[in-house]
Structure 1
Amino acid sequence: MTTPTAQSLTVFGQTLKLHSSTGSATPGPAFALVHGIGMSHRYLARLQNLLSVSADTYSLDLPGFGPNPRPGRPLSVEEHAAILVQVLLDAGVSRCVLVGHSMGTQIVAEAALQAPELVAGVVLIGPVVDRRRRTVLRQAFALAHDSLREAPSANLIVFTDYLRTGIRWYLSELKPMMTYPLEDRMPGMKCPALVLRGSRDPVARKEWCRELAETSPAGQFSEIEGHPHVVQHSAPAAVAELIRTFTRSIPSRADAK
């Protein structure tokens, strides 16, 4: 495990922050972690610390989120994905496994479509938005329900990050999230995908997660018993082990040819 270093970057005219844990001697793909709407790298920190033991690991604060200034207009999922890809290329990453949570799952899936040579695999934790529940009211109710199941430490991060993001930027990014059809993107992915949820997650329900895994050409589904939506914070060791096992199953570039 290495202590992450943080740096502010400007990519395609947008400011973001990259938290890097590098120097791993273990060969294999790097990991890149992407947060959900309203959030920052903070609720991915436990997972980053664990994954950095076995590979270089990066975590982003996307434009408008965390400490970053708000862009002058909403950014689409496709734009966030293009920024993610460019950040990783600029960091010298040649092959990686992308790990997204909530809205971050949309961004990593889109990045895999945009840069198939870079992305060896994707991990979708608590993916959104369930096509059967694609209304703001249903999503708001599910998030409120989930807050009753989360640990106090998770809720503290979530609520303080929401306050830092602000209602205006949150609502600006809500429409791109609600309209991005993740289920239509999965079949086009060339890399393996792991769809992961906590068994007590009211946001990413089991039927929806299984559907995403089954529509991916090389999809897997896993569930961590007894944990809610922010499972990477409440069960980081279990999530990290599933990600490592998944990563070991990905063919190397030489084997894939």
Structure 2
Amino acid sequence: MAQVELNTLQLGNNGHPLIMLHGWGQNLQSLQPMGELLADRANIHLIDLPGFGKSPPPPEDWDTADYADRIYQYLDAQGIARADLVAHSVGGRISIRLAHKHPERVRSMTLINAAGLKRQRTFQQSLRSQWISTMRNTFKLSPLYRDELLTWHSQKYGSRDYLNAGALKGTFIKVVNEDLTELAQQIPAPVLLLWGEKDTETPVEMGHRYHSLFPNSELITIPNRDHFMFQAEGSHLCSYYIEKFLAQLPS
């Protein structure tokens, strides 16, 4: 795998290494306020994932296993034998991949509104999803106006993240279709799950499912908080729970 250069920011000089991974469409600055609050007790590593912030995009369409491999390379380059991970949304997918493939390198994970499980749908929602998929597959076979029809379909039914993905659309499709259920069941590291109860992107039921999957996990749900529960004053709230969680871990 090509070693894409990473833009990073380190905070604090003491304590255990703590890697912070942002969500889709974000960059290291989204987690920086929380990193600054945690810098007194940990050696913080904020990372722009490839294709976001100031890190160049991967040379081909990556899945989260590729992203996890790049973070593993970063750990080696920094001489980090074992790290704590704090990750939001898609960063959670990458953390799960890393903790599953290299459990000896991950002391703990804090997942904030993490993605990685298939959304539960009602019968009507499932029918609508199947109909949208069938329509797109039909357009792909159309001998006339194929490109125009597919463009209309994407603009009509594509998610905001997909429409804004640009050169990363192929990567987005790979990432969003992954289901990490089996991997989560095999991760030995302690996991703290922080979830906003008003999250509509990765609903709180996903947090409860993750809690049932991870062998060693704690779930804390926060009222009146959405997918970006760590922003603004929420950074203090999340940092409080993370500090409490980290303090309980063996050194």
Smaller-chain TM-score bracket: 0.7 to 0.9
One-letter code of the match for 1:228? D
Aligned residue among 197, 213, 216 for 2:214: 216
Matched residue SS, 1:39: coil
CA contact (8 A) 1:128 1:182 kept: no
Distance 1:97 1:117 in 2: 11
> Which deviations, in whole Å up to 9, do the C-alpha atoms of 1:201-251 show, x marking residues without a partner?
111222210110121010110112222111111300110111111112223
Cα deviation, residue 15, structure 1: 2.0
Aligned residue among 76, 92, 103 for 2:79: 92
Cα deviation, residue 94, structure 1: 2.3
Distance 1:70 1:94 in 2: 27
One-letter code of the match for 1:82? D
**Residue 181 of structure 1 pairs with residue 192 of structure 2:** no
1:155 matched to which residue of 2? none
One-letter code of the match for 1:20? Q
CA contact (8 A) 1:101 1:127 kept: yes
1:255 matched to which residue of 2? none
> Which deviations, in whole Å up to 9, do the C-alpha atoms of 1:20-48 show, x marking residues without a partner?
11312xx4x32110011121111111111
TM-score normalised to the size of structure 1?
0.76
Percent of matched pairs sharing the same residue: 23
**What runs of 5+ residues in structure 2 fail to find an aligned partner?**
130-160
CA contact (8 A) 1:37 1:170 kept: no
One-letter code of the match for 1:221? L
Matched residue SS, 1:207: helix
Cα deviation, residue 130, structure 1: 4.1
2:7 matched to which residue of 1? 17
1:236 matched to which residue of 2? 235
One-letter code of the match for 1:239? C
**Residue 225 of structure 1 pairs with residue 223 of structure 2:** yes
Higher-Rg structure is 2
TM-score normalised to the size of structure 2?
0.78
Distance 1:241 1:248 in 2: 11
Please report the RMSD computed on the Cα atoms of aligned residues, expressed in angstroms: 2.3
**What runs of 5+ residues in structure 1 fail to find an aligned partner?**
1-10, 139-161, 253-257
**Residue 249 of structure 1 pairs with residue 239 of structure 2:** no
Distance 1:19 1:107 in 2: 19
After superposition, residues 197-212 of structure 1 pair within 5 angstroms as 197-212=195-210
Q: Return closer, same or farther for 1:183/1:167 CA change in 2, 3 Å cut-off.
A: same
Distance 2:120 2:176 in 1: 10
Cα deviation, residue 99, structure 1: 0.9
Cα deviation, residue 170, structure 1: 3.8
One-letter code of the match for 2:245? F
2:21 matched to which residue of 1? 34
Matched residue SS, 2:46: strand
1:113 matched to which residue of 2? 100
Distance 1:168 1:233 in 2: 25
Matched residue SS, 2:100: helix
Matched residue SS, 2:194: strand
CA contact (8 A) 1:38 1:170 kept: no
